[in-house]
Chain A
Amino acid sequence: MISFSQVRKSYRGGHEALAELSFSIESGELVFITGRSGAGKSTLLKLIPAIERPTSGTVLVNGQNIGSMRRPAIPYLRRNLGLIFQDQKLLYDRSVFDNVMLPLAFTGHARKDAARRARAALDKVGLLTREKANPITLSGGEQQRLCIARAVVNRPSILLADEPTASLDSASATEVMEMFRSFNQVGVTVLIATHDEALVQRLNPRVLALKQGRLEP
């Protein structure tokens, strides 16, 4: 489903974020990407939705080569992925409900159908009662759950989360992790980047440990 082979990513100025990275992830897997900050976790996650392009090597997502993908095709790739960003990227000029409606606006769903889907997603993350609230009034854990609702509302087959528990207390973090696990249990492939080793060990999943852009054995 996702396969990296000999992937290198270097930024202008010569900083090498990823080097010689090869691995593959099958459909339905739950994979953690660990490593200290600067190890290349975010870069790895950004390569999958073509936010970044590999400098060399091949990134395949659902059989599509990200390196050679043309710009007009990228939106359709991204709609099949659920993205949870490190900086959340919630919109504070609209309600919780409208934040979740955003991805449905450009997939051409009828308003009624879209609203039903948005409510279903909010229900799954336990925010249905807060749909009219502004995201700024939500707690950190609630905001993170809102990000998850927005990511899953289009029913993606792959979920990518960059440090989803970074700013959460341990109770909220556990709650969020449980949520990812439940999505994984219904067949969604889940990739989570995190530096929280303790959390990872508890779940005992497959781990890709990064160190200075390379996989640790």
Chain B
Amino acid sequence: MSAWLRQHWQTFGLTLARLATNPVATLLNVTVIGVAMALPLGGYMLLQNLGGVTRQVTGNPQISLFLAREAGKADIAALETRLKQMPGVRAVRFISREQALDGLKRSESMADVIAALQSNPLPDAFVLETGGSAAELERLEPGLKALPRIAHVQFDSAWVKRLDSLLALGRTAVSLLAALLAFGLVAVTFNTIRLQILTQQDEIEVSSLIGATDSFIRRPFFYLGLIQGGLGALAALAIVYLCMLILNRSILELAQLYGSDFRLYFFGFPDCLAVLAFAAVLGWLGAYLSVSKHLANIQPR
């Protein structure tokens, strides 16, 4: 058992040493993998950040009902009881036109504008709190529009829905890109291992002739694929992180103009580990395919 572990450890060290003796080639390979992986990874990070925004907003989907001018006190009371009975409605809040105006007066930027008005232009309104999803809101829509004395129904989450489906589209695009580039990673590793097998042809032949097992001969190439994939993933994470830092500088400025503290967040530690593991497995796969294909040709005669 300890001999087996030692062999693995030695192979690991040997592989690292071999990568180090050829730094330019190693760097190039790692960069190719890194840049290729950085594309879907960066896209994924952006989507994750935007997804966070929509989740925040959709947490409490609201519907605003603006009443017609001619609606009287009796109409309002009748509407309120009907609204409260509607399925899917959690809470009904009435905001009178006076309250709405007071609200506006309190906000500094609007106070001057409001003071200049001669009459109150605002309608009475109900704000409905719903616990439901976008689909549930949609089911409510025809019922609300059919109510009397309603001038306008506004779904505060309509744009969120649009953004959500846009994000879903983005996610599909990123997944496709990731799948393509995963294939690319396997291909790059396949080729690297092929070249490595060619350069070590003599060593492989001699080793086999003097008693190395097949698995002993294969092992360094598997490690090479694994390590190269892992290093590529590290490079990709570093690239995405750098891009994020650069973007965040501009984003913070922009967000401040809108009074928001929105900024991009990097992947958590588990996500980084997952990326690393995924790339390492793909590298191993490329090495496996390459070794199976090319090592059989170097059977000594």
Contact = CB atoms under 8 A, between A and B. Distances in A.
Interface of A: 49, 51, 71-72, 75-79, 81, 83, 85, 89, 91, 93, 102-103, 105-108, 110-111, 150-151, 154
A93 to B, nearest CB: 8
A190 to B, nearest CB: 17
Contacts, number: 59
| Size class of the B contact interface (CB-based, 8 Å) | 20 to 34
Interface in B1-19: 3-4, 6-7, 10
A97 to B, nearest CB: 15
B155 interface: no
B214 interface: yes
B301 A75 contact: no
A75 B211 CA distance: 4
B213 interface: yes
A150 B210 contact: yes
A105 B10 contact: yes
Contacts of B96: none
B292 to A, nearest CB: 15
B80 interface: no
A89 B213 contact: no
Contact of A103 (B10, B210, B300): B210
Interface in B48-76: none
Contacts of B211: 75-79, 81, 103, 106-107, 154
Contacts of A154: 211
A110 B202 CA distance: 24
A72 B218 CA distance: 14
Contact of A108 (B3, B210, B300): B3
Contacts of B6: 108, 110
A40 to B, nearest CB: 16
